[in-house]
């Protein structure tokens, strides 16, 4: 009677905890349907919400994927009640009209069972009229682990309408290459910083970050602006000497108040033909360009590019004739590669240490590297540098790995390396993925202790084989149907996730699924703020002052 009275007064008695509905139908392949409790508001039930179906023997951890308004008799809908007719609303609600909620069971556990290592796939379905309840903190902890109890886990955020941490398993995360996706402006860099912080804090892998827009090393612009400070701290500020800043544009770094740990220069003789082939789309090279480049290499070996670019324009045809190359093809290759001469980081010979040798020294000591590009933000510069350095570092990792496999000596085991690249579709599109070092790394499944963290707004541009090899995907909002289809490549029962992905908020929400989580889950991402800095071990200005004063007192006395 109280419920009816509340409804008559326009204030429905909405439950916030406990049972939200019962299972009415379903199948193992298509998922199950739940009839929403009539005293629950459909507007409080959201796609992506984490719920638990209470079976007789098992609990089914599930995700809401769709909602439907239904009626027992279609004729009722022809004569809907008027706005002021609350009595008729209340009579019809739940009996003649009702809400059907589509659920996708993702994980099945026996009552009271804990996840040990491998999640148990769903092999059956709950019976008719099984209760569906909101997940609580204990449920989330059972499924996703707790970073307070185990350093394998790192908190990425909270489920929708909940305030309990959802963690990814970092040990499983670094076992494969992974991807972070989302359309422009949805916070991909923010998500990437969160993941990198987890890897650094928990010491699960060494990171090499190709920082195209100078967003990861030192301070970066706050996502979406906001009140107060418009900057957030970078990895160097949070982790100090655990992170080294390398710079392709040291002048730009210094103008921003940053002193790089190492300045990076690349010699022409360090560029292989494979590095140029990777630039095929960016330079709009014709199919015979690779053949012409290999002919130059056959004669001049490592000096091939320096020799080619040293030829004056009018003499290129004679040069082509001398080496037996097609004149027009070599002329086009020469003309387009001349753009490389404009990069200030390109030199004929290195005066100091080789950048790759220096990077490997830092990596072997467990120090993470952020390579800033400064003002050198052209896609050509980014593709060229990332390809050259990654190819040569990978070669050294292959050598180290084979030594370890032969000796079985733990001291020879390489440190796991995660290479972060932005604009990944430029490196991994179908035309170049099989030729670039990044396609090789993605397919190797960390065989040589190297994996990728790819960051991109256009997953549809990435080769399908590479997408299917990505172990874990963290995906913010995507609107384009091709991108949604691309990011779900290789995912079973993708239809339910498709609607969830399309309904994400444009900020601070992401769908996490794959190897590092037991089941897909939508999260509100963790705030990247002072509380987060402190959790990473960073000190506030006040704490730094107090620590410095205490150190001074210990040395000099009061």
Q: Please list, in sequence order, all residues whose beta carbon lies within 8 angstroms of the beta carbon of residue 190, skipping any fewer than 6 positions away.
A: 223, 525, 528
Residue 243 has pLDDT above 90, yes or no: yes
- Residue 551 pLDDT more than 70? no
437's CB contacts (< 8 A; 6+ apart) are 274, 278, 387, 390, 391, 394
pLDDT at 435 over 90: no
Contact at 8 Å (CB) between 404 and 413?
yes
Angle at 494 between CA 489 and CA 500, to 5 degrees: 115
Backbone CA torsion sign across 384, 385, 387, 389: positive
DSSP string, 390-409: HHHHHHHHHHHHHHHHHH--
| In contact, 237 and 540? CB cutoff 8 Å | no
The greatest distance separating any two alpha carbons of the chain, rounded to the nearest whole angstrom, comes to 98
What is the SS3 assignment for 440? Answer: helix
Q: How far apart are CA 271 and CA 306, in angstroms?
A: 9
Instruction: Note the pLDDT of residue 1.
Output: 40
- Residue 42 has a pLDDT of 87
Measured CA to CA in angstroms, residue 350 lies from 268, 342, 517 at distances of: 10, 17, 45
DSSP state letters, 313-378: GGGHHHHHHHHT--HHHHHHHHHHHGGGGG-TTEESS-SS--HHHHHHHHHHTT-EEEEE-TT---
Closest CA to 383 of 340, 433, 427: 427
Task: Give CA 400 to chain center in angstroms.
Answer: 27
Give the model confidence (pLDDT) of 60-116 as tens digits. Answer: 999 999 999 888 877 776 667 666 656 555 656 656 788 999 999 998 888 766 665
Nearest to 471 by CA among 499, 437, 512: 512
> Does pLDDT of 137 surpass 50?
yes
Q: How far is CA 375 from CA 46, 86, 346, 381, 455, in A?
A: 43, 64, 15, 10, 20
Residue whose token pair is 């005293």: 39
Residue 489 pLDDT level (bands cut at 50, 70, 90): confident
Q: Which residue has the higher pLDDT, 126 or 218?
A: 126
Tokens 């190297």 belong to: 450
Give the number of other CB atoms < 10 A from CB of residue 360.
Answer: 17
Q: How far is CA 161 from CA 143, 200, 207, in A?
A: 17, 29, 33
Which of 484, 312, 276, 233 has its CA nearest to residue 384?
276
From the DSSP assignment, how many helices (H) and strands (E) are in the chain? 22, 22
pLDDT (0 to 100) of residue 138: 87
What pTM, to 2 d.p., does this model score?
0.86
Q: What is the pLDDT of residue 312?
A: 87
**Residue given tokens 């324009």 in the structure block:** 313
pLDDT at 88: 55
Sign of CA dihedral 180, 183, 189, 434: positive
* pLDDT tens digits, one per residue of 331-368: 999 999 999 989 999 999 888 789 999 999 999 999 99
> What is the structure's pLDDT at 95?
66
Digit-coded pLDDT (tens) for 455-469: 999 999 999 999 999
Q: What is the pLDDT of residue 229?
A: 55
Cross-strand pairs, 450: 417
pLDDT tens readout for residues 27-50: 998 899 999 998 888 888 988 899
Q: How far apart are CA 385 and CA 58, in angstroms?
A: 53
Per-residue model confidence (pLDDT) at position 338 = 92
**479 — pLDDT class (breaks 50, 70, 90):** confident
Cα–Cα distance for residue pair 158/522, rounded to 1 Å: 8
How many residues does the structure list for the chain? 558
> What average pLDDT does the segment 511-529 reach?
92
Distance CA 468, CA 152 (A): 24
Residue 540 has pLDDT above 60, yes or no: no
Distance of CA 164 to the CA centre of its chain: 21
User: Are the CB atoms for 196 and 209 separated by under 8 Å?
Assistant: yes
């Amino acid at each position: 009677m109280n419920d009816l009275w509340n409804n008559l007064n326009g204030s429905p008695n909405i439950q916030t905890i406990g049972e939200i509905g019962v299972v009415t139908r379903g199948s193992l392949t298509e998922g199950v349907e739940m009839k929403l409790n009539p005293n629950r508001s459909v507007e409080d039930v959201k796609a992506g919400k984490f719920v638990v179906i209470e079976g007789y023997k098992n609990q089914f951890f599930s995700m809401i994927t769709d909602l439907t308004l239904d009626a027992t008799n279609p004729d009722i809908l022809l004569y809907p009640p008027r706005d002021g007719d609350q009595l008729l609303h209340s009579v019809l609600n739940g009996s003649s009209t009702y809400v059907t909620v589509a659920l996708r069971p993702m994980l099945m556990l026996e009552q009271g069972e804990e996840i040990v290592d491998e999640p148990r796939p769903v092999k059956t379905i709950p019976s008719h009229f099984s209760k569906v309840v909101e997940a609580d903190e204990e449920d989330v902890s059972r499924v996703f682990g707790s970073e307070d109890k185990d350093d394998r886990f790192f908190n990425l955020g909270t489920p929708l309408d909940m305030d309990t941490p959802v963690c990814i398993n970092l040990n499983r995360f670094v076992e494969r290459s992974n991807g972070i996706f989302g359309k422009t402006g949805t916070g991909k860099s923010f998500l990437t910083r969160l993941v990198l912080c987890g890897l650094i804090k928990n010491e699960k892998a060494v990171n090499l970050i190709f920082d195209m827009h100078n967003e990861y090393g030192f301070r970066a612009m706050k996502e979406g602006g906001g009140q107060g400070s418009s900057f957030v701290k970078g990895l160097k500020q949070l982790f100090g000497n655990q992170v080294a800043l390398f710079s392709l544009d040291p002048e730009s770094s210094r103008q921003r108040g940053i002193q790089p740990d190492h300045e990076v220069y690349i010699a022409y003789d360090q560029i292989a033909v494979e590095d140029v082939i990777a630039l095929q789309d960016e330079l709009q090279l014709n199919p015979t360009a690779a053949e012409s480049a290999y002919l130059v290499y056959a004669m001049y070996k490592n000096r091939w590019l320096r020799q080619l670019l040293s030829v004056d324009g009018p003499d290129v045809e004679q040069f082509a004739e001398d080496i037996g190359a097609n004149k027009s093809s070599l002329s086009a290759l020469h003309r387009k590669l001349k753009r490389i001469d404009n990069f200030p980081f390109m030199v004929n010979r290195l005066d100091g240490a080789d950048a790759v040798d220096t990077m490997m020294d830092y990596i072997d000591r467990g120090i993470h590297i952020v390579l800033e590009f400064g003002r050198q933000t052209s896609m050509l510069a980014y593709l060229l540098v990332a390809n050259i350095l990654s190819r040569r570092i990978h070669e050294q990792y292959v050598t180290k790995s084979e030594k370890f496999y032969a000796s079985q000596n733990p001291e020879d085991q390489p440190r796991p390396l995660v290479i972060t690249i932005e604009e990944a579709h430029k490196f991994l599109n179908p035309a170049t993925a099989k030729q670039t070092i990044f396609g090789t790394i993605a397919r190797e499944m960390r065989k040589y202790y190297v994996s990728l963290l790819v960051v991109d707004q256009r997953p549809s541009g990435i080769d399908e084989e590479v997408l299917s090899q990505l172990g874990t995907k963290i995906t913010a909002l995507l609107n384009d149907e091709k991108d949604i289809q691309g990011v779900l490549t290789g995912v079973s029962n993708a239809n339910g996730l498709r609607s969830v992905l399309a309904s994400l908020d444009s900020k601070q929400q992401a769908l996490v699924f794959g190897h590092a989580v037991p089941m897909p889950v939508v999260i509100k991402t963790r705030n990247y703020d002072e509380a987060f800095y402190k959790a990473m071990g960073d000190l506030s200005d006040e704490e730094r002052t107090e620590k410095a004063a205490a150190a001074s007192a210990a040395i000099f006395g009061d």
